[in-house]
Amino acid sequence: DQQVKQNSPSLSVQEGRISILNCDYTNSMFDYFLWYKKYPAEGPTFLISISSIKDKNEDGRFTVFLNKSAKHLSLHIVPSQPGDSAVYFCAASTRTQGGSEKLVFGKGTKLTVNP
Amino acid sequence: ETGVTQSPTHLIKTRGQQVTLRCSSQSGHNTVSWYQQALGQGPQFIFQYYREEENGRGNFPPRFSGLQFPNYSSELNVNALELDDSALYLCASSLGWGGEQYFGPGTRLTVT
pLDDT tens-digit readout, B68-106? 999 889 999 999 999 999 999 999 998 876 678 899 999
Nearest-neighbour CA in chain B from A42: distance (Å): 4
Q: Do A106 and B42 touch (CB under 8 A)?
A: yes
A86 interfacial to chain B (CB closer than 8 Å): no
The pLDDT of residue B25 is above 90: yes
Mean pLDDT of A75-79: 98
Q: Nearest by CB to B103, which of A43, A100, A102?
A: A43
**Would you call A98 and B54 a contact, using CB atoms and an 8 Å cutoff?**
yes
**Where are the extended beta strands (E) located within A1-115?**
4-5, 10-14, 19-25, 32-38, 45-51, 56-59, 62-67, 72-77, 86-95, 101-105, 109-114
Strand, coil or helix: A18 = coil
Q: Is the pLDDT of residue B6 over 70?
A: yes
DSSP B85: G
**Strand A56-59 relative to strand A62-67: parallel, antiparallel, unpaired?**
antiparallel
Please give the average per-residue pLDDT across A10-22, as a whole number.
98
Omega before A40 within 30 of 0, i.e. cis? no
B53/chain A closest Cα distance in angstroms: 11
Instruction: Answer whether B42 sits within 8 Å of A97, measured CB to CB.
Output: no
Among the partner-chain residues A42, A89, A99, the one whose CB lies closest to the CB of B55 is A99
For chain B, percent of residues with pLDDT exceeding 90:
78
**What value does the mean pLDDT take over residues A34-52?**
93
Mean pLDDT of A25-49: 92
pLDDT exceeds cutoff 90 at A99: no
Q: What tens digit of pLDDT does each residue of B29-41 get?
A: 899 999 999 999 9
CA-nearest of A44, A49, A111 to A83 is A111
User: What is the structure's pLDDT at B97?
Assistant: 67
pLDDT score for A1: 63
Statement: residue B2 has pLDDT above 80: no
Helix, coil or strand: residue B12: strand
Which residue does chain B place closest to A89, by CA atoms? B42
Tell me which residue in B48, B100, B102 faces A100 most closely, judged by beta carbons: B48
Q: Between these two residues, B95 and A109, which has the higher pLDDT value?
A: A109
Are the Cβ atoms of A101 and B41 closer than 8 angstroms?
no
Across the A:B interface, residue pairs with CB atoms under 8 Å apart total 70
Distance from CA of B67 to the nearest CA of A (A): 16
pLDDT for A95 equals 82
Of A3, A40, A37, B67, the closest CA to residue A48 belongs to: A37
pLDDT for B1 equals: 59
Residue A80 pLDDT level (bands cut at 50, 70, 90):
very high
